[in-house]
Amino acid sequence: MNPQNVMLPLYDITRFTLLDYPNIPAAIFWFAGCNLRCTYCYNPDIVFGQGKLSEEESLAFLSSRCGLLEGVVLSGGECTLYPNLIPFCHSIKEMGYKIKMDTNGMRPDVIRQLLEKNLLDYVALDYKAPDSKMNDICGGGSEKRFWQSFDTLQSFNVAFEVRTTFHPDLLSEEEIITMSNTLKAMGYQNPFYVQLFREGVETLGMVDAPMRLVDIELLSQFVTLRQ
Model confidence at 6: pLDDT above 80: no
Express each pLDDT in 76-93 by its tens digit. Answer: 999 999 999 999 999 999
Between CA 10 and CA 92 the distance in angstroms is 14
Is this prediction's pTM over 0.75? yes
The pLDDT score that the predictor gives to residue 202 is 75
Which CATH number belongs to the domain containing residue 157 in this structure? 3.20.20.70
Angle between helix 143-156 and 108-116 (nearest 10): 10
Please give the tally of structural domains in the chain. 1
Phi, psi of 120, deg, nearest 5:
-120, 135
Model confidence at 4: pLDDT above 70: no
Express each pLDDT in 195-216 by its tens digit. Answer: 998 877 778 876 566 678 899 9
Between CA 82 and CA 86 the distance in angstroms is 9
pLDDT bin (cut points 50, 70, 90) of residue 5 is very low
CA 200, 204, 210, 211 torsion-angle sign: negative
Largest CA distance in the chain: 55
What Rg do the C-alpha atoms of the chain give, in angstroms? 17
What domain range is 20 assigned to?
A: 3-226
Between CA 28 and CA 10 the distance in angstroms is 10
